[in-house]
Structure 1
Amino acid sequence: MAEAAERRRKSPEQILKEIERSKRGYFKLYIGAAPGVGKTYTMLREANDMLAEGVDIVVGVVETHGRKATAEQIGALPVLPLKPIEYKGRTFYELDVEGVIKRRPQFVIVDELAHTNVPGSKNKKRYEDVLEILDAGISVLSTMNIQHLESLHDIVEDLTGVKVRERVPDWILDVANEVQLVDLPPEKLLERLKAGKIYRPEKIPQALEHFFRPTNLIALRELALRELADDVDERLEEYREDDGAEEVAGASPKILVLVSDGGNAERLIRRGWRIAQRMKAELFILHVPTKPADRLSEAERKKLREIEALAKILGGKFFIRAAGGRPVIDVIVEFIKENAITQVVLGQTGMSRWQEILRGSLANRIMERTRFVDVLIVGNGQEKTR
């Protein structure tokens, strides 16, 4: 009995984690596969139920997109004034973070988590507003679509041909205490679109030809269901750890993404991050420059800053290792062994088949000089669309 009690006892780290989270507000996130599935409508309906039960809940910002049913769903919810911000001779209105914190409701509704605030706002992104409000001890209800997750950027663009510009880091799902999928079958969503319940009439034909093609909606729905299933698995694993369950024995997987200053670096990092998430592995990103730092152009420096920023957003560890006159493969293999890497992700090279035969491909050279290391070669966008 004493041994069982000892196993159930929480570690100091677990206790500190719970204390830290308890100081923050409760965060519930409503996620959908596409616009128009009813995320905001569902959130507002539940918020009105909370209001009827005596919860002090207010609207910080709601994006109705001209949808009458959504606007009507605000109902009796108190609405806080938005903050006017002047930019390029025009007045824009954004969430008033200071006003929310001063009002100190129990819950605040902050729609469209992936929204980019107008320049001059306190924070660049709305999810940063939400984090600040949570840190103030105020609970938040918010919404987003699955295509706004940073790691899904390339997948969504390949599926739909649409480049999603407003994105949030995937770790926002870890911050959320509760994630609810608002699901609607593609055929029902198309009925809503054609009935004018999602966009204005003049936008419907373009939507049907592009983002709202049935194949796109099916693929996005599958992505949403899979992502939420992974999130549930991770939460269950966390609960098991909190209950004192022993970890599975075995070596910890570590993923290494090799990037150059080429155009596919972001794609590789996102792919590596998703593999790391699936395997619950650490993520490393390595760049071995082919020329000294003082010979880099401003465009190349900017590209490296962007790569490093993306690695940071996704929680990866970014390294630059100069070759110093040594073969690049020596630097890569050395890094793999130093960090006990178990899987390497790299992009297709521009080498011809004859060049690979004469010089050896990078993937083959890595496998020849390491043990128990898997290598994944990710095709570039052009190759996939051929």
Structure 2
Amino acid sequence: MTQPDANREKRPDPEEILARVMRQENHPTKRGRLKVFLGFAAGVGKTFEMLNEANRRKQRGQEVVIGYVETHGRQGTVEQLGDLEVIPRKKVEYRGATFEEMDTEAIIARRPRWVLVDELAHTNVPGSLREKRWQDVEAILDAGINVETTLNVQHLESLNDTVHDITNVWVRETVPDKIVRDADEIKMVDITPRSLINRLERGDIYKADKVQQAMQNWFREGNLSALREIALREIAQEVDDDVTAYRKDKHIQDAWNTSDRIMVCITPSRSSLRLIRRGWRISQRLHGSLVAVYVETKPGTSEEQEILRNDFALAERLKIPIVTLQGNVGNELIRYARENRITQMVIGHSSHSRWHEFVYGSLVHRLTKELRSMDILIVAQPQEQAE
């Protein structure tokens, strides 16, 4: 891209940069904040949104500079550059050619409040101080500078196989998931696949000679829909983690019904197949997550082991995660339900006699008393199994 006039400004002297870093060496700074603009394909508007927010920050009096932005010649994005200050790029010689890369050391020496760094997954030209741009961003954050950056979900390292299965393309440039997991804020830049294809056909993303090739490969509507779903799931997980951290920090134990989490309680004393099927149907109807929990109190008899094998086999066929705990049944069920923000519990009717419940207390009574913010479904056993 053609950089604004600020690119022709005099670059900082390397000795001056080193001197400033040495002066700051004994004065640790607080790590900068990281904001990620996440998308699922080129052209969704990540860079545009990042620049748009940067201009709003500048209007509010915050110091914002461009460390590296690639407009790809898109007119709307170019217009968003406005009068934002640009840190001149660093020239790197490689195999007789000259390439431009982000000048991380110049950014650290400039010490702005915010810096914009486009294309987080980019691989630097060999000979650069760091191999990957995300490593440059880590260095900037460690210097106490806030960073806004852009990333497409297919570049997350853990999704490499999944993306290949969908698109039949191996994404070569990846970013460790931890970088995104540790981000202070993630903003999803969303658009429907059909609207994105319309942008492509208008020539708003690639030049005309590349449009047909793109539509036959990465930009097939099915690919885009699947990638969009993956991105939305990533955002949902981040929101879920934020809620969990907030509740833990504020010592909130009551369940918040932001999404349905169903827990089926398995017992070895009799078959829990009915409970597992009921829990699975509930989770399908509510589009909620489901887990089967078994609390082991002592080694089971051969009959009890057979019951558990049948229960676990059904859970596995239905792809239901199984969690085995040890300890007091009531204590463990309550602890697990609270820590995992269970919203619905499915449990079988007690098979104990009234005298046993009078002496030792009723588990159901305790659960309903201590888990007041949770729905508890008590499933009766078939008549032929009743004692």
The TM-score with structure 2 as length reference comes to 0.58
Partner of 1:49: 56
Q: Distance in 2 between matches of 1:93 and 1:240?
A: 46
Q: Distance in 2 between matches of 1:22 and 1:133?
A: 11
Among 121, 127, 134, the alignment partner of 2:141 is 134
1:180-224 Cα shifts (integer Å, max 9, x gaps) = 000001111011000111111111111000100011111111111
Q: Distance in 1 between matches of 2:48 and 2:251?
A: 39
| Runs of 5+ consecutive residues of structure 1 not aligned to the other structure | 1-20, 249-277, 280-367, 377-386
The TM-score with structure 1 as length reference comes to 0.58
Per the TM alignment, residue 68 of structure 1 is displaced from its structure 2 partner at its CA by 2.2
Percent identity among equivalent residues? Answer: 51
Per the TM alignment, residue 241 of structure 1 is displaced from its structure 2 partner at its CA by 1.6
Q: Distance in 2 between matches of 1:240 and 1:96?
A: 40
Structure 2 residue 99 is matched with structure 1 residue 99: no
Partner of 2:36: 29
Q: Distance in 1 between matches of 2:110 and 2:219?
A: 40
Partner of 2:203: 196
Structure 2 residue 240 is matched with structure 1 residue 233: yes
1:262-294 Cα shifts (integer Å, max 9, x gaps) = xxxxxxxxxxxxxxxx99xxxxxxxxxxxxxxx
Per the TM alignment, residue 247 of structure 1 is displaced from its structure 2 partner at its CA by 11
Among 174, 179, 184, the alignment partner of 1:177 is 184
1:240-278 Cα shifts (integer Å, max 9, x gaps) = 122134699xxxxxxxxxxxxxxxxxxxxxxxxxxxxx9
Structure 1 residue ranges, 4+ long, deviating more than 3 angstroms after superposition: 245-248
1:1-386 matches, cutoff 5 A: 23-245=30-252
Per the TM alignment, residue 22 of structure 1 is displaced from its structure 2 partner at its CA by 8.4
Q: Distance in 2 between matches of 1:175 and 1:89?
A: 39
Q: Distance in 2 between matches of 1:130 and 1:170?
A: 14
Q: Distance in 2 between matches of 1:147 and 1:109?
A: 21
CA RMSD in angstroms, aligned pairs only = 2.6
Q: Distance in 1 between matches of 2:235 and 2:138?
A: 21
Letter in 2 for 1:236: V
CA contact 1:109–1:140 (8 Å) conserved in 2:
yes
Q: Distance in 2 between matches of 1:124 and 1:244?
A: 42
CA contact 1:173–1:231 (8 Å) conserved in 2:
no
Q: Distance in 2 between matches of 1:199 and 1:135?
A: 36
Q: Distance in 1 between matches of 2:216 and 2:241?
A: 37
Helix, strand or coil: the match of 1:37? coil
Letter in 2 for 1:142: T
1:73-130 Cα shifts (integer Å, max 9, x gaps) = 1111111100111111111111111000000000000000010111111111111111
Letter in 2 for 1:50: R
Q: Distance in 1 between matches of 2:31 and 2:42?
A: 29
Deviates more, 1:22-31 or 1:205-214: 22-31
Per the TM alignment, residue 239 of structure 1 is displaced from its structure 2 partner at its CA by 1.3
Q: Distance in 2 between matches of 1:163 and 1:245?
A: 43
Letter in 2 for 1:190: I
Partner of 2:378: none
Q: Distance in 2 between matches of 1:76 and 1:188?
A: 30
Partner of 1:299: none
Q: Distance in 2 between matches of 1:375 and 1:120?
A: 51
1:326-350 Cα shifts (integer Å, max 9, x gaps) = xxxxxxxxxxxxxxxxxxxxxxxxx
1:139-198 Cα shifts (integer Å, max 9, x gaps) = 000000010011111111111111111110111122210000000011110110001111
Higher relative contact order (CA 8 A, sep 6+): 1
Q: Distance in 1 between matches of 2:181 and 2:219?
A: 29
Letter in 2 for 1:227: E
Q: Distance in 2 between matches of 1:246 and 1:90?
A: 61
